[in-house]
Chain A
Amino acid sequence: MPQIFHRSTNTLSRATIFGAVFVIAALSWVAMEIQRSPYVTYAGVRKPQPVPFSHQHHVSGLGIDCRYCHTSVEVSSFAGIPPTKTCMNCHSQIWTNAELLEPVRSSYRTGESLQWTRVNQLPDFVFFNHSIHINKGVGCNTCHGPVDQMPLMYQQESLQMEWCLSCHRAPEKNLRPRDQVFNMQYQQPTSANPVVVDAQSFTDQIDLGSFLVKKYNVRSVKDITSCSTCHR
């Protein structure tokens, strides 16, 4: 009786079994990459907006403080999106006829809200609070990136849980003095550029961060990595 399978089948099947491991690994890697890609996270994606508002122009060009518009950032979970009135404080005086600003004027005229698209978006089961981060010395641009360099607003980081935890597990890596939180030009301390807090000069971020963890009474890592800190 002749052989049903050719001899090469042996090799082929070995290769297939061996190869499957790589195929599965590769597929998993692809899946992970997709999951972390801007396609899923929206990091770096400029979402459609009714008005092409430029943070670059308003922040670094005109020097407007973050809190002029995001008024509740220090006291509420939500930083606040400015009401149309805030825009019109200036734009009833300047650029009053600009085509681009027609939606703003129309909103003010009709009383109908502008509908922005949320840029930094978290899933509904995550409860983020701005006020506590601001008050513990996390700078705006630590999470939001160089907003003063963004002509069109985009999300800087992935905002995925691993990214949140990277800081919650070691808060000292990112803390800065409270009075520097809204400073978009703030640099972490180096020996050339020390940061002074309470008359103490720091040349190293870990030293400064550890000092601030104590000073601002940042809760224990176990506490801020408990599930119910963000999920409830």
Chain B
Amino acid sequence: MKMDEQTKVGLQNKKEDVCPSKRDKLDLDSLRAQINEANNSDKAGPEYWRSLEELAGSPAFQEALHREFPKGASEWVDSFSRRGFLKVMGASMALAGMTGCVRLPLEPIVPYVRQPEDVIPGRPTFYATAMTLGGYASPLLVESHLGRPTKIEGNDKHPASLGGTDIFAQAHVLGLYDPDRSQSVTSMGDQRSWQSFLTAIRGPLSAQKALQGAGIRILTPTISSPTLADQLRNFLKIYPQAKWHVYEPVNRDNVLEGAKLAFGQPVETRYDFEKADVIVSLDADFLYAGYPGNVRYIRDFAKRRNPDGNMNRLYVIESTPTTTGAKADHRWPVKASDLANLVAHLTAGGHPLRELGSQNTGLPESVHRFMVAVQEGLGQIGNHLGTSVVIPGDHQPSIVHYAAHILNEVYGNVGRTIFYTDPVDANPVNQIESIKDLVGDIHAGKVDLLIILGGNPAYDAPTDLDFANVLKNGKVPLRVHHGLYQNETAELCQWHINQAHELEAWGDARAFDGTVSIIQPLIAPLYSGKSAVEFVALLSGQADATGYDLTRAYWQKRHTGADFEQFWRKSLHDGWIEGTTYATKSLSAKPSAFASETKPADANAIELNFRGDPTAYDGQFSNNGWLQELPKPMTKLTWDNAILIGPKMAERLQTKTEDVVELELNGNKVTGPVWIQAGHPDNSVTVTLGYGRKRAGRVGTAQGFDAYALRTSAAPWIATGLQIRKTGETYKLASTQGMQSMDTPDGGHRPLVRETTLEEYRKEPAFAKEEEPAPGLTLYKPYPYKEEDYAWGMAIDLNSCVGCNNCMLACQSENNIAVVGKEQAVIGRHMHWIRVDAYYQGDRDNPKAFFQPVPCMQCENAPCEVVCPVGATNHSSEGLNDMVYNRCVGTRYCSNNCPYKVRRFNFFLFQDWETPQYKMMRNPDVSVRSRGVMEKCTYCVQRINEHKIDADTPSVREGKQIKVGDELQTACQQSCPAGAIIFGNLNDPESRVSKLKAQARNYSLLGELNTRPRTTYLAEVSNPNPELKG
């Protein structure tokens, strides 16, 4: 369906609702009616839309465009009305101006007793360390202010990062300072000391010694740490009958089983997207956080999206809309269970699909054409090119992984674009089977001592195992939980040992390519927690061993040379151990095992897809406010998970977004709100894990619904036979989609996000440019920016941006941005200084999607500045639009006058000024804002100043000349995995940003308003297959 035909109808004359929660939601009947009506008129609708409401021309959306905040957001939402408040407080308001006249309280100043040699107070130090997710290490560089870690960056020297991070790494620092973390050893809920645990565990352990540990079971999440794995193996030597089980809800069982099918052994697959001309993703979301190696993959992928270079082409067949699908040149939505059959066509005996024709494949014509393009993109069989990649998704069954191995081999990719190595997982077992065995043993009464080392199986184990009740019914006499939180599992164990956070502990872990990073602590444990390494050492009888000694001792065993001290210091300094990257293996897939004929699923059966949540992951980040408030990349939902369905299915079910429905699968029921997601396949439902927590902490408890209640060990990712019933209730979701939408003066004919195809781009490279008003056209005296040393500017490459939202969290962490909570997020009061807008284009059942990060544009003719009555926002000589918090009186005129809607107002005291942990977390170089103050992106002016000062300070630069533009990076830029954000000095023609802005596809957002924004965009160019046109 072409969008030009879909047209909004005029604004209906509706009674205005005061409360935004009463706003009309999308009504699909009226949507259909409107589209039909539009077909008969010739008014053109928006070509690019942010939400289905906008597509339908819903009056509520139209209104939102013209407003600074959604309706009601600027009202006082307490029971007391704002007007009433003013009446009562009239007298005291007169005194409000006097708040500037307070006397500063006396401030203590506390020096060291003995100052460490390398510490210079006032200057941060950086340490290389790592964090793990699903066992895979992300190499980090952590900024520390006088011993307090405050900001996470990627380790730019490490091949798995190259300076980039993902959202989970950025939020890692908040995890450390989370005041809800478990703060002591507890026994039956009472506080105990570590010593009392030592005494308590001694008896059971020595009793087990006689039984060779037959009653001991250790349950761990995925572990890649060589030290910890070595320790656990030693433990199993002391207790030969004990067993080590592994379970993690978002696991890679299918990857493992697929490798076993193909090679008969567990194998890790590594991809080189820089060398791949064609990438075929079989439901793999490899451009998003959580996928092992995603940070590196994004960088490699983005390098090949330069339209002036050799552009790659991405085909994505996927079962739920993801950012990877959004970046695809061709995306095909399918039900997850249909994918295996579709892939079978690609492998089927190597027959060219084009020759077979659609009548022989039995595929609909459009699918056939798509598959022909995919097959021909992979290369020519016999002529081994090795220029493509087939990448399967972790939740697809092992047969799809197997098929991918076959395809990669047939098309000669192995050793060229994909590489096989040993598995990163130190104990590669089928984790669902592993926990099933454990539960079987518990039921058989074989388990006397269960040690749960991290993880939360009482919450996230498959529902048919009923793990919580297994713990509860007391079949295991002694249960010990070691974890960061007093979570659902800790509650059911007699002993809970508080774990040290990874920023507090020594350890090691492997990155996706096998490279080992030493995890070094940035701070002593805040609550005397014990690391996993220390805990396992205790079990093996080394109660007093420190994590440092244990980690070091392990590596001393591995590196026996006399230069160990040098080796150790270098490994700590660099952030990885040289020579630990896995060598590639040459393997060849067993072709015989491929049973291509899986039975076709019933087309009308509703399928249920489970996915790790884009922000809460498997539930381990539930209590992280930054992640909870971070909009999920496609739905832009915050604080909740939802039941994702496609528009067609919503029409059939007569449901709307925010309708509460009941899902029933094999007798298990769950209720949750519906979210209609454009591009979602029909007859398919996606739910994300990680919500509905009962004991997460003050942030995460009782947010969303618990999808684990439907997840069984037989169908952990894809289940069929789902039933959906409407409950008649509704539930308010806090989505930022459609909030802060920019209004375009000509009604959307000049779109905000501009894109074209490679073919068109080559014909007309400057397609995105448009005539901007001449520089002098302003009432105000122009400032000679060209005469200054620096003129700061930013270029954002939409082609590189993969919409991962990392910039939003990097900014939140760097700039002390507050979390506002769901209640405030619903009414659009979130505080992110940079947002990532998602635009859709085309068919609502399979739209193209685009991402556009929007920070402050730092306009040269800034509309916000001229309306400020108190001069709280002014222009600097270098072109920054400065915000002076202490002058701001909160009139909000500036944000009212900002066409980009990038200003954020502190409606309440959103910052937590009391909790001591948060005080330690904040960046000391940035003011912590209070209530009633406007704030916005500053281009990280604290970093600009620091670099300018250092460049001018001979004693700092030690004779070196620092060129400010080269090293200075804003927070969003520094950890962007795609390298999509480039900041620098526009007055230096040699700077990267100047060169980018000189490119033909550079354009300004709303440039016709003569705001002369310093932030500009490089338009998106896709590389579609000409054969699939139309």
Contacts and interface: CB of A to CB of B under 8 A. Distances in A.
Contacts of A223: 788, 876-878
B882 to A, nearest CB: 4
B107 A226 contact: no
A85 B113 contact: yes
Nearest to B950: A131
B945 A127 contact: yes
Nearest to B871: A227
Contacts of B114: 83-85
B938 A232 contact: yes
Contacts of B101: 31, 34-35, 40
Nearest to A218: B952
A81 B942 CA distance: 23
Interface stretch (A8-16, A56-64, A118-126, A189-197): A118-126
A76 interface: yes
Contact of B880 (A39, A135, A226): A226
Contacts of A136: 952
A129 B925 CA distance: 11
Contact of B111 (A82, A124, A125, A219): A82
A231 B877 contact: no
Nearest to B102: A40
B113 A84 contact: yes
A26 B352 CA distance: 95
A114 B113 CA distance: 8
Contacts of A113: 110-113
Contact of A135 (B104, B107, B952): B952
A223 B784 CA distance: 12
A124 B121 CA distance: 17
Given A72-B120, A78-B121, A232 B953 contact: no
A112 B113 contact: yes
A166 interface: no
Nearest to B789: A219
Contact of A83 (B113, B877, B883): B113
A135 B953 contact: yes
A115 interface: yes
Nearest to A159: B104
B880 A118 contact: no
Nearest to A117: B106
Interface string A143-157: 000000000000000
Interface size range on B against A? 35 or more
B885 interface: yes
Contacts of A81: 109, 111, 121
A131 B949 contact: yes
Contacts of B104: 42, 121, 123
B882 A132 contact: no
Given A84-B113, A123-B886, A227-B876, A77 B108 contact: no
Nearest to B114: A85
A229 interface: yes
Interface string B865-894: 000000000111110101111100000000
A220 B945 contact: no
B122 interface: yes
Nearest to A126: B886
Contacts of A125: 885-886, 927
B926 interface: yes
A228 B113 contact: no
Contacts of A75: 120, 123, 953, 955-956
A111 to B, nearest CB: 5
Contacts of B789: 219
A90 to B, nearest CB: 16
Nearest to A217: B952
B103 A85 contact: no
A80 B121 contact: yes
Contacts of A29: none
Q: Of residues A135, A217, A227, A231, which shows the largest number of chain B Cβ atoms within 10 Å of its Cβ?
A: A227
Contact of B938 (A82, A217, A228): A228
Given A85-B114, A135-B953, A118 B886 contact: no
B310 interface: no
A232 B925 contact: yes
Chain A interface extent, by class: 35 or more
A107 interface: yes
B255 to A, nearest CB: 47
Contacts of B878: 223, 226
A121 B107 contact: yes
Contacts of A112: 113
Contacts of B885: 125, 231
B468 to A, nearest CB: 47
A204 interface: no
Interface in B72-117: 101, 103-104, 106-115
Interface string A92-134: 0000000000000001100111111110010111010101100
A222 interface: yes
Contacts of A116: 108-111
A131 B955 contact: yes
A76 B108 contact: no
B112 A83 contact: yes
B773 interface: no
Contact of B103 (A40, A129, A226, A232): A40
Nearest to B875: A226
A124 B927 contact: yes
Contacts of A84: 111-114
B945 A232 contact: yes
B541 interface: no
A118 B111 CA distance: 11
Interface in A195-223: 217, 219-220, 222-223
Interface in B945-980: 945, 948-949, 952-956
B941 interface: yes
Contacts of B884: 227, 231
Given A227-B884, A232-B927, A115 B110 contact: yes
Contacts of A40: 101, 103
Contact of A118 (B108, B123, B876, B883): B108
Contacts of B952: 132, 135-136, 217
A108 B113 contact: yes
Contact of A226 (B113, B882, B955): B882
Contacts of B108: 115-118
Given A123-B104, A220-B788, A226 B876 contact: yes
Nearest to B942: A232
B38 to A, nearest CB: 48
A143 to B, nearest CB: 17
Contacts of A48: 106
A129 B882 contact: no
A217 B428 CA distance: 62
A108 B114 CA distance: 8
Interface in B761-788: 788
Contact of A111 (B107, B109, B113): B113
Contact of B876 (A77, A121, A124, A228): A228
A76 B123 contact: yes
A58 to B, nearest CB: 16
Interface string B104-146: 1011111111110000111100000000000000000000000
Contacts of B121: 72, 76, 78, 80-81
Nearest to B930: A125
20 contacts: A75-B956, A76-B120, A76-B121, A77-B123, A78-B122, A81-B111, A83-B113, A116-B109, A117-B107, A117-B108, A117-B109, A127-B925, A127-B942, A226-B875, A226-B876, A226-B880, A227-B876, A227-B884, A228-B882, A232-B927
Interface of A: 31, 34-35, 39-40, 42, 47-48, 72, 74-78, 80-85, 107-108, 111-118, 121, 123-125, 127, 129, 131-132, 135-136, 217, 219-220, 222-223, 226-229, 231-232
List 6 A-B pairs, minimum CB-CB distance, nearest first. A78-B122, A226-B876, A76-B122, A83-B112, A227-B882, A81-B111
Given A116-B111, A132-B952, 7 more contacts: A84-B114, A85-B113, A114-B111, A115-B110, A131-B949, A136-B952, A232-B927
